[in-house]
Structure 1
Amino acid sequence: CQISLSLGPSFQTVDVYSVTVGCTVTSRFAHTIVTSKALNKANTSQEIFFEMELPKTAFITNFSMEIDGQVYVGKMKEKEKAKKEYEKAVSSGQTAGLVKASGRKMEKFSVSVNIAAKSSVTFILTYEELLQRKLGQYEILNRVTPKQRVQDFQIVADIYEPQGFAFVEATATFLTNELLYLVEKTLCFWFIFYYLDLIKCCISHQIVNGYFVHFFAPPDLPRVPKNVVFLIDRSGSMSGRKIQQTRDALEAILKDLHEEDHFAFILFDSSIVTWKDSLTKATEENVSKAIAYVRELRDRGATNINDAVLRAVRMLVEDRENDKLPERSVDMIILLTDGMPNNGESNLQTIQENVHSAVGGKMTMFCLGFGNDVDYSFLDVLCRQNKGLARRIFEGSDATLQLQGFYDEVSSPLLLDVDLRYPDNAVDHLTKNHYSQLFNGSEIVVSGQLINGDPDNFLVEVFAKGPEMDYIVQGKASVVNLEVMYPEQEYIFGDFSERLWAYLTIQQLLEDRFDHLNCKALEMSLQYSFVTPVTSMVVIKPDTEDGPSSPLIADKLTEGRCRKGQNIISFLRRLTRPLSVENQATGPPAHHLYFAS
């Protein structure tokens, strides 16, 4: 694939020989390596840049540079130690860095290094992630942003799934319309979607080197009725496009409700207004009336989140006590807001405590943070404390589709109180094995270590509640010998099951937000060489004619730290030529790769 852009004369002194992206997926766990080689053709030293975007859920596992045959490999360190080492160099003018806020699915890693005349540099970046099943499919996404002609460009994806494939599709599209007129031939985006054959068995096991991975996604289950209270922020900051997009999304969502579902609307600004005093069954007549009500939604006032959420909780509790809701059904609160609470109770921790106490583990809360002003970390904690999750809705013309897309993911619960149980004498170091619900198109993944590496006593039992009766299934693990199934690729599998277990464990430890668990997350991040919110990777380039050694740092932030005004955060002053590195991150670990050279 030839990539050609018409760029200015400053780019003519650097030849980018190659850009190679290699992605290997083994049982949903993706390992991606991006390699780029460039030559400084000039008669003087100059900076050469390496930039790429990777999925938010990915963990960088390695970054290295090869300069004229000498390899400089990144070393994993505790975040504060890495930061002090980096800032010490910055303060003496040796290097500079930049952290950029992340986008919707991606975050940016960037590094520049000063290269002597007629010298070459090879950049190698590796990252890993567990592909999540959403709406029945898995997605591999890569983004390439070429800035000049690349002589050798290659993307290779190898996917190994013992269950077999039901469907695979690969697509590509242009990165931005702004670049189209510059491009003679380009591949800027590529996606791979694939569906697995889950019809034969709902319990799938992989056992490699004493570690197991269990995937649970039962097919053809009836959906569980849901009782959902929509909490809609109509404060003044929602004016204009936001409120219109909210109206459009709610209208589409209402049309997708099933008749056995119940729903309610609570509008809030400085006051709290309910459409009705209790939840309403989603009959055709009631949905039509609700759509007419939503169309009249207007913005006004301040933002009283505390009282609005507590009112929603009371409504669900009272309807439960009065037997107005099906016994086997899911209670949900979906909060859409674009700002900070500035009316009523405004202390964020107090709001979280109030909601957690009121909910009492009896319902699930989802929060949609609209735009850049919203305090996402506050919403994230609010949801995690109440069995749900938060999602940022990015401002743009497709915000309506984002709202609908999120709702589609949680609109069809299949099972409640899902427990995956294993014999105490057979497994150890289990990842999370209890889930409050399983939604249609999603998947539960549990991993752990076999005691004595013996699969003979490895029996898994799944207990859950369905819409009408309890759901119970059990099965004995059958060891899939990947080396036999793929005899020519035995080198691929190695320790993937152990790394997948470590990935899940670290991710879940960080979600719990307790200091002692973060210590364990740090220990494991260092052991398995993952760049996480508690670690950083430092690459030291030894002394050169341009000055003493200068570190480059690969870092990972959290979604909650991306606030308005930080779409591009100037993290450090950009100084002279020496090297500069940057990486930004916002989310859990993953394994995919996007690259620009």
Structure 2
Amino acid sequence: MHRLKSISLFMLLLTFTLPLATPAYADGIIIPEPPICIPGPCPGPIRIAQLAIKYHRVQVTIEDQVAITHVDQVFRNDNQWEIEGTYVFPLPPGAAVTQFTLWMDGEPVEGKVLTREEARQTYEEIVRAMRDPALLEYADRDAVQASIYPIPPGGERRIELEYTQVLEADNGLIHYSYPLNTEKFSTQPLEDVSVSVEVRSPHPVRAIYSPSHPVAINRDGDFHFTVGYEDTYVTPDKDFDLFYSIADSDIGLNLITYRDPESNDGDGFFMLLVAPSVEVDPNRTIAKDLLVVLDQSGSMDGEKFRQAQQALHYILDHLNPQDRFNIISFSTGIRSYASGLRSSEEAWQAKDWVDSLSAAGSTDINLALLEAVAQADGERPTIVIFLTDGLPTEGVTDTQAILENVKQAAPSNVRLFAFGVGYDVDTFLLDTLAQDHHGDTTYVTPGQAIDETVSGFYAKVSTPVLIDIELDFGDVVT
């Protein structure tokens, strides 16, 4: 693979920064040109479809606020004729291209880095020819351009591009944006779309938040984390945004405000991010109570139940010295490890009890949850982990009745986290239970490891350091 000389000069732009409020329109597109009819003239107007985007994969590394974005896209020609196209990739302000490879029949094709003036001229020419006003949003930006010919009917072209930009920290809050809005440029939903972000920071990272997409966050201490988003057969209609805050203090505090400039309403919105350190001093950990509600009905038999038992082993091995716990297993009826909460010193005995369980019987969810919340101590933080793979089939089976029963019985300090295993769970029941009791829901599909999922979750909630948080807005009306 040969180096692109025209790109190497562009590296000088690395010293520029990206303002926080500026969106980074950087989604590469291929604009097809009208076919040439031989012999002419063409037999009337020919409608040209935009190329389909087969997959769109983005890998980002951010270190010391320098973001390196690697884009990998495959385009497909769904027209019935061979076409020529122009690939245009509008660059974020201050970005520098470090790699650009356009693969045609296994061979790399050189691209051209355009100045802002050249890019504007290219956009205007395409808009005049194609009458595609969507391109006008890219005016006044540097760009990468490459001519692509031929693209046979049903043929594909792969493009890889990498650029670097510097992210600005606004009062300790850092914003990374990548535009995934491909709706107006793809004829079909994307078969595969993913964004992976890895961040290494010289300062402790506190809050991590994506307002645009459901993301998985994996933290490795205070200075390193990864974020992942992926989906299939979707037409993304919003850009990918990631915010994270940095602070040397024990608790990070950041405020994000927004007011629609086109609205006549003078009021706006705000979001307050509060996050403690990930690396916790054991002496400052708040004692908690943990109640595990485990489905041992017949449908859990086999590998699923074995993995659930391994997950419980992990939880019991990672109790803090001042924690208390109990385990309630349920099927047609319920069984409890103990009559009430027990000290973490009994964890080894509880592991033996878990290993003695076997899966059989029906599913009495209502009775099991009521037994668990009845043991909650209103004076201590209480976490309920509820794991099931099915629908209620025993006792109270009406979803609304179960929700109301648990709401009335559970103290306000209970946080319930539900894990649904497989495809036969009552998602409305699990989601509402978690929402009503300040928790979250995780679904484990067939083939996923139950023990790894539950263990990974517990590692995040095992050491609470902030409880009973209150906000005082004074005279401000919210």
For this structure pair, what is the TM-score category when the shorter chain's length is used for normalisation?
Answer: 0.5 to 0.7
Q: Tell me the distance in 2 between the aligned counterparts of 1:415 and 1:316.
A: 19
In the alignment, structure 1 residue 240 sits paired with structure 2 residue 302: yes
- Do the aligned residues in 2 keep the contact of 1:50 with 1:112 (CA within 8 Å)? no
Alignment-derived partner of residue 248 in structure 2? 199
Q: Distance in 1 between matches of 2:24 and 2:292?
A: 39
Moved more, 273-282 or 384-393: 384-393
Write the deviation string for residues 422-467 of structure 1: whole angstroms up to 9, x where unpaired: 2324xx5x5xxxxxxxxxxxxxxxxxxxxxxxxxxxxxxxxxxxxx
1:484-518 CA-to-partner distances (Å, cap 9, x unmatched) read: xxxxxxxxxxxxxxxxxxxxxxxxxxxxxxxxxxx
Determine the C-alpha separation between the residues in 2 that align with 1:25 and 1:338: 47
Counterpart contact for 1:37–1:122, Cα < 8 Å = yes
Q: Aligned-pair distance for 1:162?
A: 3.5
Q: How does 1:241-260 map to 2 (within 5 A)?
A: 241-260=303-322
Question: How does the TM-score come out when normalised to structure 1?
Answer: 0.44
Spell out, residue by residue over 1:48-69, the C-alpha distance to the aligned partner (whole angstroms, 9 max, x if none): 42245799xxxxxxxxxxxxxx
Partner of 1:215: 273
RMSD: 4.1
* Cα distance between partner residues in 1 of 2:26 and 2:287: 44
Q: Tell me if the contact between 2:300 and 2:389 (Cα under 8 Å) persists in the aligned partners.
A: yes
Cα distance in structure 2, aligned partners of 1:377 and 1:418: 28
Q: Is the 8 A contact 1:337 1:370 kept in 2?
A: yes
Residue type of the partner of 2:52?
Answer: F
Q: Which has the larger radius of gyration?
A: 2
Shift of the 315–208 alpha-carbon distance from structure 1 to 2, 3 Å rule, reads closer
Structure 1 gap segments, 5+ residues each? 3-23, 56-109, 126-145, 169-187, 321-326, 431-597
- Kept in 2, the 8 Å contact 1:235–1:301? The answer is yes
Aligned-pair distance for 1:156?
A: 5.1
Paired with 2:273 and 2:161, the residues of 1 have a C-alpha distance of 35
Larger relative contact order, structure 1 or 2 (CA cutoff 8 Å, min sep 6): 1
- Cα deviations across residues 245-280 of structure 1 (Å, max 9, x unaligned)? 111111111110012000001010111111111010
Worse-superposed segment, 267-276 or 116-125: 116-125
Instruction: Flag structure 2 segments of 5+ consecutive residues without an equivalent.
Output: 3-17, 38-47, 59-74, 91-103, 105-154, 177-193, 206-245, 260-267
Cα deviation for residue 382 of structure 1 reads 1.2
1:115–1:121 CA contact under 8 A, matched in 2: no
Match of 2:52 in 1: 49
Query: Aligned partners of 1:394 and 1:158: how far apart in 2?
Result: 38
1:419 partner SS: coil
1:411 aligns with 2:462: yes
Write the letter of the residue equivalent to 2:445. F
Contact 1:50 1:123 in 2 (8 A): no
Distance 1:333 1:164 in 2: 34
User: What is the number of residues matched between the two proteins?
Assistant: 301
Corresponding residue SS for 1:368: strand
Query: Counterparts of 1:19-168 in structure 2 under 5 Å?
Result: 26=20, 33-37=26-30, 39=32, 48-52=51-55, 114=79, 117-118=82-83, 120=85, 149-154=157-162, 159-162=167-170
Aligned equivalent of 1:11 = none
Cα 1:113–1:232 change in 2 (3 A) is same
The answer (yes or no) to whether the contact 2:31–2:50 under 8 Å persists in 1 is no
CA distance in 1, matches of 2:307, 2:364: 21
1:36: how far off? 3.0
- 379-388 or 221-230, larger mean C-alpha shift: 221-230
Aligned equivalent of 1:269: 331
SS in 2 for 1:417: coil
* Cα drift, residue 344 of structure 1: 1.1
Q: TM-score, normalised by structure 2?
A: 0.54
The one-letter amino acid of 1:118's match is I
State the identity as a percent: 24
Return closer, same or farther for 1:158/1:367 CA change in 2, 3 Å cut-off.
farther
User: Residue 466 of structure 2: SS of its match in structure 1?
Assistant: strand
Alignment of 1:447-466 (within 5 A): none
Aligned to 2:360: 300
> Is the deviation greater in 250-259 or in 147-156?
147-156
Look up the SS of the partner of 1:369 in the other structure: strand
